[in-house]
Structure 1
Amino acid sequence: MKARFIALITGAVLGSSVLSAQSNDCATMAALAYDDAKAKDYEAAYEPLMKVREECPKYSLATFQYGERALEYKIENAEGAEKEQYIEELISLWEERLELFPNKTSKGKIYADIAQVRFDNKTGTTEELYNAFDKAYTEDRDNFTSPKGLYAYFQLMVDMQDAGERELQDVFDNYDKVMAKIEEEENDAAENLAPLLEKQEAGEELNAKEKKQIQYAEINLKNYNSVKNALNAKLGARADCDNLIPLYKKDFEEKKSDVDWLQNANARLSAKDCTEDPLFFQVSEALHQLEPSANSAYSLGQLAEADGDRTKALEYYNEAAELEEDPNDKARIYYRIASNYKERGSFSQARNYYRRALEAKPSLGNAYLQIANMIAQSANDCGETTFDKRAVYWLAADYAARAARVDPSIASNANETATAYKGRAPQKSDVFQGGRSAGEAIQIGCWIGETVRIPQM
């Protein structure tokens, strides 16, 4: 009995020693492999990294992070069958990382990366590649955020429709999904950017982290804007009224009691301003009778506006805004209401609705730009002295500059507008001669009711 106990203790000690030795071996192998990878010598790092991955797969997430870089290097410098082999090895590495480190790995990003590397290297049929991106979107939409991947996802659908393998409606459905995702990411970036811009505009010092956050948000906004432009170019003539009206007209009688179909047709026709054809009224009226909604109310507002009944149009638009749950569509409705008030010269009401649009969609730079223009138009009415009247242009310039930063699609025009307004504002000599100083607050009256500070010059 005593001998057996001693044997058990000995075995446990030896087992512990073996595990300890294995752990030390993993640490030694990993340290050597990681050193080469840190030095970006991926040729030298490749085999040691793959050995660590094989023998000590759970040792560290760093094995997979460095392994990814090494395999991307190998893929870039290989050709033919060897390149295909490295591609499959990279995909295997990503899948293994997801299995072993699920809490530190984004499923959506991994699936999107797998789809992207196959897409970039043309490994698979169009449908197989599309399904790979669709897996990323379907299984982890939140983390499928790559601008490049989202564009490829749509491009592949268009390619299949061009080949006769998908219907035009499938293209529209995919476009709506991808565009909605991009606008969500834009809104997130703009929402993160807004308080930092306010802090910067107030003259407060930003720390290094905040400066990086601004840089990162602005890069993302530019990338997503580029993808939106590419999506619209790819959609091209497919979304013209000449295609949409026949597409929906042929099915109207059969589908006029189908709420989903009517909503889809209504949204597409409305978005493309295909409102002059009688079909638009038929679809809108049928939808509003079956199920009053934001879309149907908005469409009836468009029709009332086209008939010259602005009061009725605003009633419908406000109804649409109250019913709408999607923030991008809510912003679109508020923007249209604001523009109606602006055209009437009701600047205060217009600003209220532009601000509501921005609450729903922080990346809607045009709303900031419209506020800037209204402020500039009111310069002579909203200041007591000549200096204060011209100071209004500083505030207008601030709004125009913010428009450029949250919405790269209008950055050029918005920055030019900001520069023009600054040119109309008091210059350095005016500030000096007026006995004013940088940082001094100037209260602007009338409908504007805001404070602007004299900038550093």
Structure 2
Amino acid sequence: MRTSFSVFSSFLLALIVLINPLFLGASEALSDGGSSPETTTSNDTSCRTFSDTSDPDEAETNYVIYRNLIKANEKEEAMKVWRKVYATSPAADGRRPTVYTDGVAFFSELIRQYPDRKQAYGDTILMLYQQARDCYPGDGYMAAIQGFDSYYTYEGLATKDEVFALFKESLEIDGPEKLQYFVINPMSSLLVEQHREGKIEADEAKEISDALMTRLEKGLAECEGRYCEAWETIKAYTPDVLRYFETVKGFYDCDYYINQYYQDFLDNPTDCDVILTVFSRLKYGECLEGSPEFDAVSKAYAENCVVTAGPSTLKIAFDNLKDGEYDTAIENFLAASEETDDAEKKGRYLLYAAKVYYSHKRNFREARKYALRAAGANPNSGEPYMLIGTLYASSGPLCGPGTGFDSQIVTWPAIDKWQRAKAIEPALASEANKFINRYAQYMPSKSDIFQRGINEGDKFFVGCWIQESTRVRTP
């Protein structure tokens, strides 16, 4: 594999010499008896240092020259001299991958200048990362940044499996205490995909999930000033993405569910929907009687939520839900909806199923499907649209990186649904307005839409799993 990759690398750099204007004046410098780049990527020479060249002083001098030219912002001249260094001593002094990372910077600049050549330049950038990893195998940063660029900047040049492997390599080298912060969000997303597709077992997923959260907690505790902004962005994204593993029984322990849900109960101690959700989550997490939190929720459930009337199927469904038997609970809520011709009850039972899909199964598509069925069964209820609005508002991490335009546009269809809910059922106006006011501040800014050639009031299609048209608005 390494040999074939080196041959490809050699061909690629040779090709770029021919098509890149910045190389036209530099190519002559490579014919002065030194090795050309296409011969430096073999196993014997790709890690050569200054001391491996015929003239170590000249090699180091050229390194200093091109680095100073970079500082002076003379990039074209810097790149010409960089090529000389890359040709003879790409590993520099043997202690740092600077020549490789500078090469990445040069080719990134070329992509900005010549976007039609992104594929070729992107391949070269990934090749330089690979060589740096080969020469400096103890540096987790190189695997991390190669994975990051492969995931975001040069999408399509590597498979998601390959990107995940790079992130794993970085984690294995640096450990959870020193993992590069920019790895956390994309790795959490890929971790969920890997498990969902059966490519990784729960035990390994748990180990990686714990490592990501360890790094996040350390970063939040130690950051200062503006450096905390990145950690706050990660905090808004990764924990929510990793909630997917709540669907894997035994993945999280009782303490996790207490930390995640108990405050909701304290804020709403008599709300049966909240009580039932928290009680079910604590039981699912195998919290036991005798725990102060479990006992408090259990007492509230007995006082506020016990079903004593209605179809027996409905009571069984609630018992299933209380016991954390979510699939069976859904089946029985749906069965209960078939047992009644009362529109209000049918809609309510369907909505119960939708809420289980949302809160416990983390399956947003199915949650919306049954919320819409609930709305169809009882057109006078706005509750289904309240839930759909919440589904959309919670989709930022699913539809984008958790912040920025792609994640913020989900607020538009969410607000549409909350507005529809209060129009159908005016009694919901207070609750709907609370959500609208909360999420309106997260809509894309005027500058965000201007940069994309979008005007306020325009029709806009939100993709991802939402697949709905909405109207452009700003805070």
Normalised-by-shorter TM-score class: 0.3 to 0.5
TM-score norm. by structure 2 comes to 0.40
Greater C-alpha Rg? 1
TM-score norm. by structure 1 comes to 0.42
